[in-house]
Amino acid sequence: MNKAFVREPEPDGRAFCPLCGSLGSPVEHAVLDRHIRPASRSLVGDSAWFCSFPRCDAAYFNLFNVVVRVEELNSPVYPKDLDAPICACFGLNYDDVAADAAEGTPTRIRANLARAKTAARCEDLAADGRSCLGAIQELYQRLREERGVQ
């Protein structure tokens, strides 16, 4: 069939990473300005998408398949680097969540949640522009399941 007669899909606001195919999280210029080194910042424009797949080398990308790679960031970000804070606002990291999972009591996670209710600035500080609470809960559950605890 001739492509002239094939209808192009309507844009729905979603974008997929050109390197790994993962669904990206939309981010605005403030997040990009904070996380991308000045030499690479102009590559993606005012908005882009964050690739959260841990093993992908892409950090941000746009609809023209321009990619800002992890090594072009100002500092490490989670989940690209497990040593980076999961919570950009308050510094909760993988080791904190792992300790809570090992102890069986989410003490550090609850403290982080309490702080997040009052002073979180996720949309500005997080690499994906979103709250870390979902990622923390998912990691905690996964670590608990790996230990054989439901």
Question: Looking at the structure, do residues 69 and 84 belong to the same domain, yes or no?
Answer: no
Mean pLDDT score, 108-128: 90
pLDDT at residue 83, as a whole number: 94
Q: Which domain holds residue 142?
A: 76-150
In whole angstroms, give the CA distance from residue 97 to residue 136.
7
Question: What is the reported pLDDT for 117?
Answer: 85
The answer to whether residue 7 scores a pLDDT higher than 60 is no
Residue 9 has pLDDT above 60, yes or no: no
Q: Total domain count for the chain? A: 2
Q: Which of 36, 13, 136 is nearest to 86 (CA)?
A: 136
pLDDT in tens, 77-110: 999 999 999 999 999 999 999 999 999 999 999 9
Same domain, 92 and 143: yes
Share of the chain above pLDDT 90, in %: 81
- Residue 50 in any domain: the answer is yes
With a CB cutoff of 8 Å and minimum separation 6, the contacts of 121 are 89
Q: What is the pLDDT of residue 6?
A: 55
In a domain, 4, yes or no: no
Give ∠ CA 141-145-150 in degrees, rounded to 5.
85
**Residue 3 in this model has a pLDDT that exceeds 60:** no
Spatial distance between the Cα atoms of 15 and 112, rounded to a whole number of angstroms = 31
Whether residues 56 and 46 share a domain: the answer is yes
Contact assessment for residue 122 and residue 132, using Cβ atoms and an 8 Å cutoff? yes
Assigned domain for 94 exists: yes
The answer on 80 and 69 residing in a single domain is: no
Mean pLDDT throughout 3-11? 57
Question: For the chain, what is the mean pLDDT?
Answer: 91
Read off the pLDDT of each residue in 23-32 and give the average, rounded to a whole number: 96
User: Domain for residue 1, yes or no?
Assistant: no
Is residue 85 located within the same domain as residue 20?
Answer: no
Question: Is residue 35, in this structure, part of any structural domain at all?
Answer: yes
Give the global pTM: 0.85
Same domain, 143 and 106: yes
Here the CATH number for the domain that contains residue 64 is: 2.20.25.270
Quick check: 12 pLDDT over 90?
no
Tell the burial category of 104 from Cβ atoms under 10 Å away from its Cβ (0-12, 13-18, 19+).
Answer: exposed
Tens-digit pLDDT profile for residues 59-71 = 999 999 999 999 9
